A and B are shown apart, each in its own frame.
Chain A
């Protein structure tokens, strides 16, 4: 038997899901966090139910792909109960969907979530009366604290098929009731059940929310947020954290410990090499994954989680809408882009929230080309922060320029239309520490599960290529590109090869070279531009194939590959020209 959670966007379906199933799916404070169905099991009165968490919808009339996912699951057979999760503050909006769900004739429970926020704003709902009028069970909850969840379980166990709406629709002909008519019915219902008591004063949350989107204070706040991120991820985690992990922990204890054991017990040189050599599983894969990238992504996920839960991210769409218009998109595209800073694979899925095919292709292209994922971004910040903030800003502007130029050109080439910008802004909230920690933990676990096997695989490929002489062959074959065109040492070839598997692994390889003093400033900068623009990691490529089709994905990957080397080379020659001929050291 199935329980389906449905509701408007950003009302807390995923929190309810987590509470019912004791599983964890990502929860954030913006519409569009859930783009796909999640499944979990819950036990109510000794009966097992499968619970489905769904992307938010405003109506059963479908306009975008994430909404279609939800509607399709409602046509599933064997539905024990549909739970409509609703924001108590916006009862009117929720009821539009409630009426549509009742029309479907499925057993329905209405869950009025966030009832604490509604109370704070002086909104009180006569639940008993509303329940009578609609003929369905209604439960109030505050899902983040667990308040009301037992009652919700009880209501689910007792649910009956919804009554017909004849009483409500009395007086209308029996054709399909128009939206306008429904709105009138809802207005009438609300007059009976809704009381708004005190005139509301502007709360701190509203005040801060207004500051973040106003043109005067919005931009400085954005710059401040970026700066804090740079300091926290790029300086604190990437410099101090990596230093501690790499030198103290791995350099001081773990690696010596393993080399000791290996030296003592494994006398076979090739196995020794395989574990601790230049391309060794422990000395390279494990060290890169845990010593270099782990502290950086931890810091990034923490910071990002706070941003997500505060409700700040969708506000960026207000500031960026005009810029996105230049590249054939609207402000809503900022969400997949910013999520891409977390993980390009997830972000490519999130592009479903955009309405037109053109917009989704453009976003997939930009995500593949120019948006570095968390681990990669952290490594890049760490490398650049070693010389100056200026270098970081220069890298940032170069990437921004690439996004705007390529986006502009691509928007002319890709047929189709831009959809108008309409975006709901959730209220700003103080993030819940517990959720941030759980979310960061879940993401780290996912990161380790996804990245470490690929790191090991990549290292294995390098190890074998090195041993059979393939690596030096490739290094020689690519040397016109790497050594002549990009002016990089041939050792960086290995970093680019593993970059095919994961870009962050490639970046970590460059980082290790830079820390060993094998790269000068220009080489660091150029190699970072190339690895930023470089091909998507394997996981992102497969998701792009799934979402956009093989042809589009191949075209994107092919273009990005060529463009990365072209741009890297041009910048290399420009920087060298400036310093040699004009005597200007940009970096």
Chain B
């Protein structure tokens, strides 16, 4: 691993630990050693990406956006591999790690747009919003949209289903609501009603919003 990649990897570790509310220097260094067998805290300090106060590791103003970018690219890559290319979970984790380091800003934004500016990675962790997400808010019709943004009587192909609770996901799957299935929207009020094959299912809006589809004209 070259130096730059190591720095990026280290920053993403700090971000992930922060999501778990872990700021302790010792714990973070332990994670560095586990994943790269090298303590990078010194290098990060030298680059000015982190500050360490009383054993607490904090991202600096310079480190924060860089870490955010790398996390964003990593999680977008995971979504892309999993939902569009339908790669298995194990390979996703290893490939996404490699891809994140080589994505350019431009490619990153097109992936994000293709996926409909997703908010969560396949593991359920949040994807930091990018500039394109802000721009896309309601303006540009992205290719992958939540089911509820289809018009009534339109059909979409399911791209992915956000994995909030396992039982719900399983239930949806057992009705045939799985990536690749064609889904027709019948109504949105008072409850969302969709049709998959010959099965009609009523859903509350919160669940319907988590089903992302690609419109079929």
Contacts and interface: CB of A to CB of B under 8 A. Distances in A.
Contacts of A427: 200
Interface stretch (B127-135, B139-147, B202-210): B202-210
Given A93-B197, A215-B190, A321-B191, A187 B202 contact: no
B20 interface: no
16 contacts: A63-B171, A90-B176, A90-B199, A179-B178, A180-B178, A215-B189, A317-B191, A318-B190, A318-B202, A331-B191, A420-B165, A420-B168, A420-B207, A422-B172, A422-B207, A424-B201
Given A92-B176, A330-B204, A318 B191 contact: yes
Q: Chain A CB within 10 Å — which of B88, B167, B202 has the most?
A: B202
B198 interface: yes
A423 interface: yes
Given A209-B200, A419-B167, A419-B168, 20 more contacts: A58-B171, A63-B171, A89-B197, A90-B198, A93-B175, A93-B199, A178-B88, A179-B178, A187-B180, A210-B186, A318-B190, A318-B191, A318-B193, A322-B191, A355-B167, A421-B191, A421-B203, A422-B203, A423-B202, A424-B175
Nearest to A206: B200
Given A215-B190, A420-B206, A61 B170 contact: yes
Q: Chain A CB within 10 Å — which of B88, B174, B176 has the most?
A: B174
Contacts of A87: 198
A422 B201 contact: yes
Interface in A477-526: none
A96 interface: yes
B190 A322 contact: yes
Given A90-B176, A93-B199, A215-B190, A63 B204 contact: no
B176 A321 contact: no
B76 to A, nearest CB: 21
Interface string B44-80: 0000000000000000000000000000000000000
B174 A96 contact: yes
Interface of A: 8, 58-59, 61, 63, 87, 89-90, 92-93, 96, 121, 123, 178-180, 183, 187, 209-210, 213-215, 218, 317-319, 321-322, 330-331, 355, 419-425, 427
A317 B175 CA distance: 17
A423 to B, nearest CB: 5
Contacts of B178: 179-180, 183
Nearest to B174: A58
A331 B88 CA distance: 36
A178 B91 CA distance: 15
Contact of A425 (B86, B168, B190, B201): B201
Contacts of B172: 422
A324 to B, nearest CB: 10
Contacts of A322: 190-191
For the side of the interface on B, what is the size category? 20 to 34
B107 interface: no
A213 B202 contact: yes
Nearest to B186: A210
A187 B176 CA distance: 11
- Report whether over half of chain B's contact residues are helix, strand or loop; otherwise say mixed: mixed
B127 to A, nearest CB: 22
A178 B200 CA distance: 25
B199 A213 contact: no
A214 B187 contact: yes
B173 A179 contact: yes
A59 B198 contact: no
A418 to B, nearest CB: 10
B204 A93 contact: no
A257 B4 CA distance: 104
B144 to A, nearest CB: 18
Contacts of B88: 178
Contacts of A419: 167-168
Contact of A59 (B170, B190, B201, B206): B170
A59 B193 contact: no
Top 10 A-B pairs ranked by shortest CB distance? A58-B174, A89-B198, A421-B204, A425-B200, A318-B191, A423-B202, A318-B202, A63-B167, A321-B191, A420-B207
Q: Chain A CB within 10 Å — which of B88, B179, B186 has the most?
A: B186
B203 A90 contact: no
A427 B174 CA distance: 18
Contacts of A187: 180
B79 to A, nearest CB: 15
B55 to A, nearest CB: 38
A325 to B, nearest CB: 8
Contact of B171 (A8, A89, A422): A422
Contacts of A215: 187, 189-190
Nearest to A178: B88
A93 B193 contact: no
Interface string B108-125: 000000000000000000
A167 to B, nearest CB: 22
B155 to A, nearest CB: 13
Contacts of B167: 63, 355, 419
Nearest to A423: B202
A90 B201 CA distance: 13
A183 B199 CA distance: 16
A419 B164 CA distance: 12
B39 to A, nearest CB: 36
Contacts of B189: 215
B171 A319 contact: no
Contacts of B170: 59, 61, 63, 179
A218 B187 CA distance: 12
Contacts of B191: 213, 317-318, 321-322, 331, 421
Interface string B135-167: 000000000000000000000000000000101
Contacts of B180: 183, 187
